A and B are shown apart, each in its own frame.
Chain A
């Protein structure tokens, strides 16, 4: 029979006092040892401290320490503290060239890209989601494609058409057709703004589109019933509620533009139009470690500020949490006489963002002389020909062993790194969601997000300085594929961990608890319950980093050596040596790989492009 133990409060107090601290700790230990989540968390924390925190700290320290070979200039011994680099960057005769001009360039490009992509993307999002635009279903996928293509694909297509005599090598199509393209059209600010706008407009469509879709139509209906006009509803109900999404969109584009390296590398470097990331690259490639650290730190600070503002605003936005109510929005208005122009705009966007760049790249690979559209000028030699009579690269790209070894490298290096970051991301999610100690979870959450704030180039440089020489038990890694993998893993952790956390949060702890009750140990639970349930999330957490790894340039340009060339660095080497056709052929293949890979992921996860890219 049941009974209540007759214990008074006093007896209870005594009972507690009788449990000494040591016993409590032993009890905690018994609890902890039954569940390896904390042990795993500690191992992960150690791994990421080495892989992420150490490089970031080394960047920050290098800002204020005399670097090798700078003793004479700084009048201080190597390794001593110095303000030399900071002064040089911010307050010397050189700072205009070193910092302010690149900063101004970066800012103008970023702002231009934000303004254009927000207006074009916003308009297209509205057309696709709220109007009876013909072919909406098709457009909703087609308009997103530029976001799946690497930015520098567009940049290379641009140079293929607009390149002029300012830079050597094969001229652009327009030049060959007799139109001299001015520098401002061929290189620098304007093309960069256009290309980044083309790339980020789909991102705006995705974010605004999903916000529009989640918008509770009842909110609109209530206003209409109270007698508000359509315009009033749009400006006083819809727009204010969309504001958090709009602002967040702006800030994310800003953060991405500041870190953007590949586009300025292709379009800015030839004419000395420096952005923060290309001046960082210059500093690294001329071995000015101290200045490189300052540039990297500046980019990091801007990134941190942007994200800080974004999180602050997101917190604010929680007050508007009703967005996302039940009422699905399917209110479309007919376009009337605007139907043709609207369809034309959407079609034009697809043409400029997808069709023309890809077609240009493809045509450029089968033309001997750029821009000459006569039958005898076309050839497949650059793909499959042999004995082309060139200095190097005497065979078509598909018959060149370096191409295949770069392809194999890509598969092995990026594949292994993606696999590792997918699994690590899931484990981070596991620890963050399950750990009894909030501090451990928070640490992992924040440290894995850190690489997002560090530009890829700076991160690669830091990894290089850290791991190029033997340190403790770790041998020198320079020139190995391991250093590339480490950098890639770290670089992918922000995405991998966030998707891991989201997946684990969604899973909840009950399926695993049910397995515990059934008698399953930890390994059994992971392999038999958690991983199989999460297999879709895991697949996309592996595939998405793989795709973004294939597209990525900045990490590899620092860390890859010819022996560890991947497709991107191989294509850039070809660009540098002016094998334009071959380079474009490789770029085209990367672009198509990225495109179909992303589509494959969508099929696999079945949750639409929007979700996959948003996270």
Chain B
């Protein structure tokens, strides 16, 4: 069964200064549900289209199941129609002049299957995706969610080993999205296909993927399981991109407020090489738990209910911090509260914005005078 291997893949568009994708090496294993995640313009869709063969490489090599499909050094290019994979477009790209059934039948016809088998396969996949009733309708007569299922069915009918999805949920409303997400998971388990999924929505990536590849500016940032990406971001970009509300990022050094905070954190953490520190909103607490570090006395600015949870805006001098909680806050705007954070929930980044990995926690030495560590905080 096919692995997809990308080796030093690069893509430049003529007339554009910067590369769309640069030096991308990634292996997508058989049966994996891989999510390419990143902000718009990060090269994730370009990567997907290169795997599909709709774009050719400017450098590097792509192999599917050990067969080179696009390579500059081997001067090989296999056109998309011969790659035998499935791709669901963001716009669904249903053929407007064909009924649902004809849309699904199209690929089966090209594989020259006998009529009876074609019908059986089309019926089977329509059944699975619950669109049997719409078989005779035209795409324009379907709702967004139905169109999305037809687009999926069209690709699944030919039973591709690899299914590529380009933001297929972004045009759906919130309720449908949730439903389709569950459906995609179910399909992945049922069909056992390798799925590569492109999205800018971290929530979608987190809930669906077995592995996430975070991209930014045409470069791969981090590859890992969703939990890994969230709890151990390799750099500031990943830390700030993943998480909603976003991580609180505090630049160390330079201003007295940050210095004071650094002094308090320094009691438990080694901040020797740290240029900035990130605290996830849900890691902030109003009571000291196990292994907690004090953040200091913060002023509560506002409380924003989001239905079942609350986002609390806190200020420490000029710094703004957000705290997310599932229990109704008992404090009021204007109050000053003592805040703490779990030491494991603090992420340190060096001046190159890379994660500082060592997480040995210092023995409590709160007695240390504030400002003593200051020299250590400044970037080397």
Contact = CB atoms under 8 A, between A and B. Distances in A.
Interface string B297-334: 00000000000000000000000000000000000000
B180 interface: no
Given A27-B56, A27-B75, A31-B56, A5 B25 contact: yes
A525 to B, nearest CB: 9
B89 A19 contact: no
B75 to A, nearest CB: 4
A576 interface: no
A27 B89 contact: no
Secondary structure class of chain A's binding surface, majority of residues: helix
A359 interface: no
A2 B210 CA distance: 10
B59 A16 contact: yes
Contact of B106 (A11, A19, A515): A515
Contacts of B341: none
A529 interface: yes
Nearest to B210: A2
A533 B96 CA distance: 7
Given A7-B25, A517-B85, A520-B81, A15 B107 contact: no
A517 B95 contact: no
A519 B60 CA distance: 25
B91 A510 contact: yes
Contacts of A514: 87, 89, 93-95, 154
A31 B80 contact: no
Nearest to B9: A5
B75 A23 contact: yes
B95 A24 contact: no
A31 B78 CA distance: 8
Contact of A517 (B87, B220, B223): B87
A267 to B, nearest CB: 48
A26 interface: yes
A436 B81 CA distance: 18
B23 A1 contact: no
Interface in A1-46: 1-5, 7, 9, 11-12, 15-16, 18-19, 23-24, 26-27, 29-31, 34-35
A38 to B, nearest CB: 13
A314 to B, nearest CB: 23
A608 interface: no
Interface in B24-65: 25-29, 32, 34, 52-54, 56-57, 59-60
A23 B71 CA distance: 10
Interface string A433-455: 00010100000000000000000
B143 interface: no
Contacts of A18: 73
Secondary structure class of chain B's binding surface, majority of residues: mixed
Contact of A4 (B10, B25, B158): B25
Contacts of B223: 2-4
Nearest to B164: A517
Interface string B77-121: 111111111110101011111000000001100110000000000
Interface string A508-537: 101101111111110010001100110100
Contacts of B8: 5, 7, 11-12, 15
Given A27-B75, A30-B75, A515-B106, A2 B28 contact: yes
A533 B102 CA distance: 14
Interface in A402-450: 436, 438
Given A4-B220, A19-B59, A35 B79 contact: yes
A408 B237 CA distance: 72
Given A2-B28, A24-B72, A519 B84 contact: yes
A34 B89 contact: no
B319 to A, nearest CB: 34
Contact of A511 (B23, B28, B93, B211): B93
B142 to A, nearest CB: 16
Contacts of B77: 27, 30-31, 34
A405 to B, nearest CB: 39
B231 interface: no
A489 to B, nearest CB: 28
A532 B10 CA distance: 36
Contacts of B7: 5
A26 B56 CA distance: 13
A530 to B, nearest CB: 10
Given A12-B23, A514-B87, A519-B84, A2 B75 contact: no
A516 B79 contact: yes
B91 A508 contact: yes
B339 interface: no
A4 to B, nearest CB: 5
Contacts of B34: 2
A513 B89 contact: yes
Contacts of A23: 72-73, 75
Contact of B23 (A7, A24, A510, A535): A7
A30 B75 CA distance: 7
Nearest to A1: B29
Q: Nearest 10 pairs between A and B by C-beta?
A: A5-B25, A34-B79, A510-B93, A26-B75, A518-B107, A30-B77, A514-B93, A31-B56, A516-B80, A519-B110
Interface of B: 7-8, 10, 14-15, 22-23, 25-29, 32, 34, 52-54, 56-57, 59-60, 71-73, 75-87, 89, 91, 93-97, 106-107, 110-111, 154-155, 158, 211, 213, 220, 222-224
Interface of A: 1-5, 7, 9, 11-12, 15-16, 18-19, 23-24, 26-27, 29-31, 34-35, 436, 438, 508, 510-511, 513-521, 524, 528-529, 532-533, 535
22 contacts: A2-B28, A2-B29, A4-B220, A5-B8, A5-B25, A12-B10, A15-B8, A24-B72, A27-B72, A27-B77, A29-B75, A30-B77, A31-B56, A438-B14, A513-B54, A516-B54, A516-B80, A519-B84, A519-B110, A519-B158, A520-B110, A533-B97
Given A3-B26, A19-B72, A529-B95, 11 more contacts: A2-B213, A7-B8, A9-B23, A16-B59, A23-B73, A514-B154, A517-B52, A517-B80, A518-B155, A519-B82, A519-B111
